[in-house]
Amino acid sequence: MRTATTCPGEAHMSRHAGGKEHALSRWTTSGLIVVLLAASACSELFPTTIRVDEGAISEVRTIGKVLAESETESTWDGVTSISKVLAIDIGDQGHADATTGAYKLLQKHGWLLSIDKHPQSIYMESHKWGHVGLMIKSVGYFDSHGGIDPDEDELVKDAFAKSNSNNMVVLEIEHTDE
């Protein structure tokens, strides 16, 4: 009957090879941790700016006369989102209020109701433009929520200086995450 024997050198080589595998495993784990940390910091190291599709903005402009416009900027987790704000006189559409009139005009372009806080505001989205949504705000919205956004308050004042129309709305067009 034969028995297996191990030479002292073979045992040493076996431990040595296992040591290399263990060291390689430590380097792999360390490298993986570094890659994961770098990836999580990527948005901070390589900031991104997203804007609303110009086609969507152009489409929204068609619902009336643009009296004033501006942009708003917000940053979260290394991503800067730039939204477009338009003060638009939609003219007399035969509706009880300008918010409804703007809603109906945008609906003709395929915009869909998402949140209805009528008559103060209405939030709509368009599948045509992908990740784009807009908030229609009535002038009454600014009367009841005055001072929330000084830039938008200034936009409304500028728009009223050009037209004292009762058919004015403010539309904030934004990129959405969905």
| Burial grade of 145 (CB within 10 A; 0-12, 13-18, 19 or more) | middle
11: confidence class by pLDDT, cuts 50, 70, 90: very low
Q: How far apart are CA 158 and CA 155, in angstroms?
A: 5
Neighbours of 116 (CB within 10 A): 12
* Cβ(140)–Cβ(96) below 8 Å: no
Closest among 84, 79, 47 to 66, alpha carbons compared: 84
Sign of the CA dihedral running 112, 86, 167, 154: positive
Tens digits of residue pLDDT in 108-154: 999 999 998 887 889 999 989 988 999 998 877 776 666 567 777 78
pLDDT band per the 50, 70, 90 thresholds, residue 156: confident
> Given this model, what pLDDT does residue 20 score?
59
- pLDDT value for 13: 45
92-114 burial string, b = 16+ CB within 10 Å, else e?
ebeeebbbbbbbebbeeeebeee
Q: Which of 158, 169, 28 is nearest to 104 (CA)?
A: 169
Query: What's this model's pTM, rounded to 2 decimal places?
Result: 0.69
- Asked whether the beta carbons of 168 and 97 are under 8 A apart, the reply is no
Q: Is the pLDDT of residue 6 over 50?
A: no
